[in-house]
Amino acid sequence: MHIFPEDQVDENFFDLYYHPYKKQIWGFGFLLTIAVLTFLGVREMRQRRLDEQWTRHEEALALRTRSLPGQADADQVSREVEALRGIVNDYPDDPVAAWALRGIVDAHVAAADWGAAKAGLDELRTRFPDFALNTLPAGDADGARSLADQLRASIESEEEWQAATKYEHVPPSDERIAIIDTNLGSLQIGFYSELAPEHVAAFVERAKRGDYNGTQFYDVRLATDGSPQLVSGGSAASKSERDPAAHDRDEPGDVIEPEDSRFLVHHELGIVSAVDMPSGESATAFQIVTSQRGMQSFNGRITPFAAVLDREGGLETLARIGRAPTYGTNPDTAEADGMFRMRDHPYPPILIRRVAILTNEKVEDGHAWDTSRVGTDEAEPWEAELPPPPLPDEFAAPSTTPDEGAAPGDGQKPGEESSGDADNPAAGSDAGDDPGDATQDGGK
């Protein structure tokens, strides 16, 4: 039997491989851990970067409602192009930049801005020659024509067609006009009697009856850049309802069929057209374009029947109305409870004192009211009896907790809207009587 010396120790794995190289092993492990963590961190950052890019891309495309070429809303196109251009600038070498440029081209095509569309397409072809649009064939037999070539040919064809059929604005007649006197000045409008005879007849009939006298401009809309866009007025409800949110109420029994002028007259600055309600075009309420760029999205859809004439300071009055403070922009009401539901209604109100019909500068016969003040800035007698304009909190939702000690039937039910002026119940909101009011207002 072999006997080992007492000082001899069996060498195991750790003695052979770990202890002699312990520093190297720990150093390698540390570097490997750093490398793995770095890889995971970089991958996470890249994934977040990709998520951010494509999220921004989808949000930018969602800024514009899809439409036919030349029918897109100018404000929506401007917002979309600005958002997509921001993506191109922030990620100039990433694949998302190519898709953003593609979106810019589509936006300009939708706005019929053919020059900008071709410039965007050229930028896409120059910066990203390997992009699918530039490499995939368009289906030609020889395969030499790319999708980008086909798109450019389509753009040039549309540009040529638009140039050949360029819209020329048709001015309204100034022989027969309407004078709309307001507390901010007067507007003179001429009619498209031959292009929209039914709408003109409806407006004239109501003006002579005095239906517009005492109504309000109930909606003043601004574009996203704060510039005037559209004003609406003449609603019968704006004369009888104290609650501003009820002034744009749909009146199913007061509608009129669209007419051919919607295809022949574009909604440029000063155009007066019908208001498109859920039940159809209103035969009473009207709207006036206050945007310098016009309202292209209305073309072909809504019937224009008149236009503000550039005389007697009419366009200056229109500009004042278009920039009038509203519940949402007036500092006295902007932060008040209940403001949101009436945010686009002018505060203080813009009153339509009277609307008269004239032919050859003379008031026509047949008016059922005193026309002696037509064309002046004189107030009507009823203006002195008007109550002060309502404040938003008058129509704010009440607390859902009943007052302690209130008897059954006293006060309001939980969630019921305020009845308005306690001394004049008839002047209160009747939003609770018409559930459609809140829905309609919420759609503003």
Question: Are 184 and 231 within 8 A, CB to CB?
Answer: no
Tell me: do 124 and 58 sit in the same domain: yes
Half-sphere exposure of 328 (CA within 13 A, CB side): 15
User: Does the CA dihedral 433-436-442-444 come out positive or negative?
Assistant: negative
Question: Are 286 and 232 within 8 A, CB to CB?
Answer: yes
Question: Are 338 and 244 within 8 A, CB to CB?
Answer: no
Boundary residue ending a domain (137, 164, 191): 164
> What is the residue type of 4?
F
Question: Exposed (0-12), middle (13-18) or buried (19+): which is 58, by Cβ within 10 Å?
Answer: exposed
Tell me: do 214 and 354 sit in the same domain: yes
List, for the chain, all residue ranges whose pLDDT scores fall below the cut of 50: 400-444
**Has residue 415 been placed in a domain?**
no
pLDDT at 439: 35
Tell me: do 84 and 108 sit in the same domain: yes
- What phi and psi, each to the nearest 5 degrees, are found at residue 159? -65, -45
**Has residue 436 been placed in a domain?**
yes
CATH assignment at residue 372: 2.40.100.10
CA 69-74-80 angle, to 5 degrees, is: 90
Q: Total structural domains in the chain?
A: 3
Question: Are 305 and 284 within 8 A, CB to CB?
Answer: no
0.75 exceeded by the pTM?
no
Enclosing domain of residue 184:
173-395+427-442
Tell me: do 380 and 239 sit in the same domain: yes
**Has residue 364 been placed in a domain?**
yes
Question: Are 79 and 223 within 8 A, CB to CB?
Answer: no
Tell me: do 374 and 331 sit in the same domain: yes
Say which DSSP state 341 is in: G
> What is the residue type of 293?
R
**Rg, the chain, Cα only:** 34
**Has residue 54 been placed in a domain?**
yes
